[in-house]
Amino acid sequence: MQGPDGMESSDAALVARVLHGEVNAYGALVSRYRDKYARYAVHMLGNREDAEEALQDAFTRAYRSLARCEDPERFGAWLFRILVNRCRTSGARRVRRSQTFVHDETALLNASQEHPAEQTMWREEIERALGELSADQREAFLLKYVEELGYDEMAEITGVGVSALKMRVMRACDRLRILLREVHSA
């Protein structure tokens, strides 16, 4: 969404407009962060349905608490923190519902025409391996390597200490290497 000067509106400007009663300005924030954060939710939860639900919840909760966003310029980071928490809750519910991790929907979601079949298989193997990790390890790995956050940012988002996060990431990497080597040596 563009501002009155024709320039792309900043997060802070959009937040201010929403707080001032322009509810449609929130749509611009949704469009801005939808795809970016869908990636994290899909990889974290392993299926599209849960991921979209978590993402919708995150956007809705962020809207409801928008006046408490302390730094509107960093709305995206604040929203992401909410999403990480929603994924944790959703993940916990899913584990109670079923102990099996759904891989195929994630693979199908991202499979596109330009990817050959082998590439799609590789992606499926990665998703399957990701699903073998504990939720804590998967979360730490995705935040560190896929979302490319620093450990301090990760600690802020997750509430977990830096040393514990480093350990989780290291173990996740080791486990993924083993799982994927097994696949390719089979």
Partner 1 sequence: MPDWGRTTLELIVQELQRPVRVDESFDRRVMVRVRRLYAERRPRGAAGWMGAAVNLTRRPAYAAALAAGVVAVVTVGMLRSSHPGAAVGAESPIPVQFVLVAPEARSVAVVGDFNNWGLGDTALVAENHNGVWSVSAPVKAGVHRYAFLVNGKQWVADPTAPRAASDDFGQPSSALVVEGTVE
CB of 113 to partner 1, least distance (A): 13
Question: Contacting partner 1 (CB under 8 A), which of 2, 6, 7, 70?
Answer: 70
Give the list of residues 6+ apart from residue 94 with CB closer than 8 angstroms, or none.
45, 50
Residue among 79 and 157 whose Cβ is closer to partner 1: 79
Q: What is the DSSP string of 42-76?
A: HHHHSSHHHHHHHHHHHHHHHHHTGGG-S-GGGHH
- Select from 49, 50, 78 the least CA-distant residue to 135: 50
Q: What angle do CA 85, 136, 83 make, to 5 degrees?
A: 20
Are the C-beta atoms of residues 58 and 86 closer than 8 Å to each other?
yes
Least distance in angstroms from the C-beta of 38 to partner 1: 5
CB-wise, 108 or 164, nearer to partner 1?
Answer: 108
The one-letter amino acid code at 186 reads A
Instruction: State which of residues 3, 27, 150, 161 lies at the interface with partner 1 (CB under 8 A).
Output: 27
- Would you count residue 5 as binding partner 1 (CB under 8 A)? no
User: Of 38, 135, 155, 160, which lies in the binding site for partner 1, with binding defined by CB under 8 A?
Assistant: 38
**Joined tokens for residue 24:** 């449609």
Q: Which residues bind partner 1 (CB under 8 A)?
A: 16, 18-21, 23-24, 26-27, 30-31, 34-35, 38-39, 42-43, 52, 55-56, 59-60, 63-64, 67-72, 109-110, 118, 122-123, 126, 129-130, 142, 145-146, 173, 176-177, 180-181, 184
